[in-house]
Amino acid sequence: MTRLFNEPAAFADEMIEGFVASHGRWVRRVSGGVARSTKSTPDTVALVIGGGSGHYPAFAGLVGQGLAHGAAMGNLFASPSAQQVYSVAKAANNGAGVLLGYGNYAGDVLHFTQAQERLRREGIDCRSIAVTDDVSSAPLEERAKRRGIAGDLTVFKVAAAAAEAGYGMDATVEIAERANDRTRSFGVAFTGCTLPGAENPLFTVPEGRMAVGMGIHGEPGIGETGIPTADELAELLVGKLLTEVPDGLQARGSRVVPILNGLGSVKYEELFVVYRRVAQLLAEAGLEAVDPQVGELVTSFDMAGTSLTLFWLDEELETLWNAPADAPAFRRGAVTAAALDTAALDAEELSAEAEDVVIPEATDESRAAAVRVLAALSAAKDVVDANVEELGRIDAIAGDGDHGIGMERGVRAAVEAAADAVERGAGAASTLHLAADAWSDRAGGTSGALWGMALRAVGDAIGDSSTPDAGAVAAGVAEAAASIMGFGKAKVGDKTLVDVLVPFRDALAAAVGSGQSLTDAWGAAAAVAQQAAEETANLLPLMGRARPHAEKSLGTPDAGAVSMALIVRAIHNTFAEAKAAATTTKENA
């Protein structure tokens, strides 16, 4: 279990702070993650990698000369937000474009793609490579659906070496894609991992059993088996990978980089015992092992497990793999140390100090409404804080257990942003917009993006010029639903928050249309939302990381649906309190 932490919601931020403090020779803190603290060659391609925290050395440990130029670091097991990726890419850009590298997970694909589009709109050449090395996660004919695990290292290393050598963007992308095509990984797990503050692991494996093909967040593989000996495990891993030799190659006579990766709590000594047999099996198959790597390279907190990666080389790939590199967690050969980029360090401090959003003009009526917006967000924060452990527990049954922490980080950031906006005289729309950006940025993951969209859509509908009426709020909720379904592609029945949002939207619109006040209409819709959330227990997930665990989730409601129902009920309470206070004031007058 994860024993050393302060507040679970602050774990990722405090981890990054400590990492930068202890590795300033390589990295500097930038908005959204870290970037090299040393100077890079101007007019060369920059490689920016990233993903959720909790997998060290991935991703921050791979930033340095000869490796990545920056890493966008999301919340625990949650993708970084598009804003985080964009910010790190801007900080790392050397003038010849940015290549984004990440594991092939839905949230990462969505956020990195959004950042890529934004960078392109600004005239920055930006491309992406999603790593797909995990053979257990999809059949060969569906390789594009495979997960990225320890193969991240091979793809990132050769792409970074190509950029360092002066390759242009097209050539760098080609070499990254070739490395991805020639990388295969397969893993097993003996126990699950436990997030900071959680009482139980995300998943369990029966005593005396081993999960085969398990993903780094606990995603299922191809089944379970009894725990083998070290030699038997080596035979399983090598045997599986040799059934899928890359196109155009044959095992005998090929050169491969073998990577035996520890997932968190398997000791190095154990890995060496396993690798002893791996090396023998590779030699028996006629393969030549080049620069073997044995150790922790892509972890998952305290998960007990290991994976084997085979990186099938050609002459160019081997040259790039062996090129010098100097990063906190991966060093190769002799690197001529670059000077610290003091200008970038100073600029980062200045930008942090100067970060001050201009507040648009607003009417007195809208500023008064902004106070009510803050009260609603504060109520949302209180209900999330009260239920954070339960939300995490529900999410861990079929997902990766981070929903409670993600919601807590997001809503707290939203309240802080809204409070600052209200203090500076913002109207209701501007307050919601700033809260939306803060929620999305701080929470990361798909849920952070969805809640950011929801708040922004409501803000767009109510504006900064008048007291929001029930019709405008209902229209905002409808636009929020449309934006969320357009972004995430979920529909009713997929076991997501959409299963609550759509009935809530429809009930709110119907009640407002019948002439009810916003308070009464919202209360009626909140009751519908609660019922809808409970009914998600009867659904099988068809979207996101919960989809592969479909049968395990039956009988348990969706965590995103539950949190949405809790929040809309909490917001109704603030409406009711405000209405009661207004009535009392009127009577006293």
The model's pLDDT over 309-323, given as tens digits with 9 standing for 90+, comes to: 999 999 999 999 999
Q: 159: pLDDT confidence band, cut at 50, 70 and 90?
A: very high
Q: 350: pLDDT confidence band, cut at 50, 70 and 90?
A: very low
In CATH terms, the superfamily for domain 364-588 is DhaL domain (1.25.40.340)
CATH 1.25.40.340 location in the chain: 364-588
Average pLDDT (130-141) is 94
User: Does the pLDDT of residue 343 top 80, yes or no?
Assistant: no
pLDDT of residue 502: 97
Reported as a single tens digit per residue, the pLDDT across 497-551 is: 999 999 999 999 999 999 999 999 999 999 999 999 999 999 977 765 555 555 6
pLDDT of residue 125: 98
Instruction: Tell me how far apart the alpha carbons of residues 435 and 556 are, in angstroms, rounded to a whole number.
Output: 30
Closest CA to 370 of 416, 432, 417, 436: 432
Instruction: Tell me how far apart the alpha carbons of residues 488 and 558 are, in angstroms, rounded to a whole number.
Output: 16
Q: 398: pLDDT confidence band, cut at 50, 70 and 90?
A: low
Fold of 1-131+324-355: Rossmann fold (3.40.50)
Reported as a single tens digit per residue, the pLDDT across 9-18 is: 889 999 999 9
Q: 399: pLDDT confidence band, cut at 50, 70 and 90?
A: low
Average pLDDT (344-362) is 66
Fold of 177-323: Hypothetical Protein Tm841; Chain: A;domain 3 (3.30.1180)
Q: How far is CA 186 from CA 19, 54, 56, in A?
A: 29, 20, 19
Reported as a single tens digit per residue, the pLDDT across 16-30 is: 999 999 999 999 999
Cβ(251)–Cβ(286) below 8 Å: yes
pLDDT of residue 1: 72
User: Does the pLDDT of residue 585 top 80, yes or no?
Assistant: no
Instruction: Tell me how far apart the alpha carbons of residues 476 and 97 are, in angstroms, rounded to a whole number.
Output: 37
Closest CA to 151 of 112, 116, 177: 177
Express as a percent the part of the chain with pLDDT over 70.
Answer: 94
CATH 3.30.1180.20 location in the chain: 177-323
The order of strands in the sheet holding 98-103 is 27-30, 33-36, 70-76, 46-53, 98-103, 126-131
pLDDT of residue 487: 84
Instruction: Tell me how far apart the alpha carbons of residues 47 and 53 are, in angstroms, rounded to a whole number.
Output: 18
CA angle at residue 59 from 11 to 197, to 5 degrees? 20
Backbone angles phi, psi at 381, to 5 degrees: -60, -45
* pTM of the entire predicted model: 0.87
User: Does the pLDDT of residue 352 top 50, yes or no?
Assistant: no
Cβ(130)–Cβ(155) below 8 Å: no
For 421, the token pair is: 């906006």
Q: 202: pLDDT confidence band, cut at 50, 70 and 90?
A: confident
What single-letter amino acid sits at 420? Answer: D
CA neighbours closer than 13 Å in the CB half-sphere of residue 128? 21
CATH 3.40.50.10440 location in the chain: 1-131+324-355
Reported as a single tens digit per residue, the pLDDT across 560-577 is: 999 999 999 999 999 998
Instruction: Tell me how far apart the alpha carbons of residues 338 and 65 are, in angstroms, rounded to a whole number.
Output: 8
Calculate the average pLDDT of the chain: 92
Closest CA to 547 of 227, 251, 145: 145
pLDDT of residue 392: 87
Scan for tokens 């991703």, then name that residue: 59
Instruction: Tell me how far apart the alpha carbons of residues 23 and 253 are, in angstroms, rounded to a whole number.
Output: 41
pLDDT of residue 354: 43
What single-letter amino acid sits at 147? Answer: R
Instruction: Tell me how far apart the alpha carbons of residues 99 and 129 are, in angstroms, rounded to a whole number.
Output: 7
| 572 part of the active site | no
Q: Which of 137-146, 345-354, 436-445 has the lowest mean pLDDT?
A: 345-354
Which residue of the set 55, 69, 111, 217 is catalytic? Answer: 217
Q: How much is the CA Rg of the chain, to the nearest whole Å?
A: 25
For 40, the token pair is: 């890079």
